[in-house]
Amino acid sequence: MIELAQQFALVFAAMALGWTMLFSFVVAPVSFKDMDVGRADRHVRRVMKQGHGIVALVCVLAGVAALVAGAYAGATIAVICAVFYAMCQWALAPRDDPRPVGATRKLKTARIVASGLTAFIMPVLIAAMVLTQMGI
C-alpha cells in the first residue's frame, strides 16, 4: 500500500511538472510570439484560469498520496506547490475587475510575468518528488 501511494504521489507530481513545463516553455512563449498581443493576452489568461486550478488539485492529490505513503515532507511541499498554483491563478493572472481611478496597469507584461513565475514552481515540485521518493 505504501509503495502504491508513493507511486501515485510521484505520478501526480510528474503530471504537474509536465503541465508547468508545457505552459511556461511552450504555450505562453508561442502565444506571445505567434499571436498579436491582445489575442496572446486572452489566450494565456484563459489557460491560466482553467489550467492552474486543475494542476493545484493534482498537487493536492500528490500531497495526499505522499501523506499516505508516510512522506510528510513531500506531502507538505506538494501542498505548497498547490498554493503556488492557486496564487498564480488568482493573484498573478491578469484581473478582469475595473481598475481604481487614476491607477494604471501593465497588462502587457502581467501574463508574461505570471507564466515566468509559474516556471519557478518546477524546482519545488522536483523537491516534493525527491522527498516523496526518499520517504521523508
Confidence of residue 41 (pLDDT cuts 50, 70, 90): confident
Average pLDDT over residues 62-73: 96
Query: Helices (DSSP H) in the chain: which residue ranges?
Result: 2-22, 28-34, 37-69, 72-87, 107-119, 122-134
Q: How many Å apart are CA 121 and CA 30, to the nearest integer?
A: 20
Name the pTM for this structure: 0.84
pLDDT (0 to 100) of residue 70: 95
pLDDT at 122: 94
Mean predicted confidence (pLDDT) in 9-16: 97
Taking residues 114-126, what's their average pLDDT?
A: 87
* Band of pLDDT at residue 4, cut at 50, 70 and 90: very high
